[in-house]
Structure 1
Amino acid sequence: MSDRAATFATITDLVEPFNKKGVELTEATTFAGDLEWDSLTVMDFVAAVEDEFDIVITMNMQADIETVGQLADAVEKLKTA
């Protein structure tokens, strides 16, 4: 499994406690549209991702991340920065 695939798998595991609707997660799953998360859920989830990967996701980055795949890409960049 590549680093990117492992990152995606970890992110999907982190999404599960917040996935109240049981949405099937893909690269294209959107946080606002598909998962219907409110801002509080997003903040809790971002904190979980930051803790898991020991990174900081800035508010500017969060604004640009709409899908699970985009988040995996952003985490990969932050891990190597």
Structure 2
Amino acid sequence: MLNHEAVMDYILKCLRGMVASELEIKPESDLVDELGLESIKVMDLLMMLEDRFDIPIPINILLDVRTPGQLRDALLPHLEKTYGSL
């Protein structure tokens, strides 16, 4: 079932495959400063999310996103258009 927790779990799972294994990844981790994601990795993450949830994600949602939790919150309106209330 798709809900807030499932979306967050998937984002964290993707990030675990993208960053150094010794880093602890939490919803409040800074994507750039703590996790060291470069812009190309952030774009890869967006593509993974688009593929998993089968939705288009506008790149401009990244303007105010600094953490996985903020990314989830930015995705929710787009997910709700396709899946209804989460």
Determine if the TM-score, normalized by the shorter chain, exceeds 0.5.
Answer: yes
Quote the sequence identity (%). 28
Higher relative contact order at CA 8 Å, sep ≥6: structure 1 or structure 2? 1
- Cα pair 2:30 2:67 within 8 Å, conserved: yes
Report how far residue 22 of structure 1 moved: 2.9
Query: 1:57-68 residue pairs with structure 2 within 5 A?
Result: 57-68=57-68
Residues 19-71 of structure 1 deviation map (CA, whole Å, 9 limit, x = unaligned)? 12532122211111111111111111111111111122222111111100011
Letter in 2 for 1:24: E
User: TM-score w.r.t. structure 1 length?
Assistant: 0.85
- Report the number of matched residues: 81
Q: Structure 1: any 5+ residue segments left out of the alignment?
A: none
RMSD of aligned Cα (Å): 1.8
Describe how 1:28-43 pairs up with structure 2 within 5 A: 28-43=28-43
Aligned residue for 1:76? 76
TM-score by length of 2: 0.80
Structure-2 residue corresponding to 1:15? 15
Q: Which runs of 5+ in 2 are unaligned?
A: 82-86
Find the counterpart in structure 2 of residue 25 from structure 1. Answer: 25
1:2 Cα deviation after fit: 7.7
Query: Is contact 2:32-2:38 (8 Å) kept?
Result: yes
List 4+ stretches of structure 1 deviating above 4 A.
Answer: none
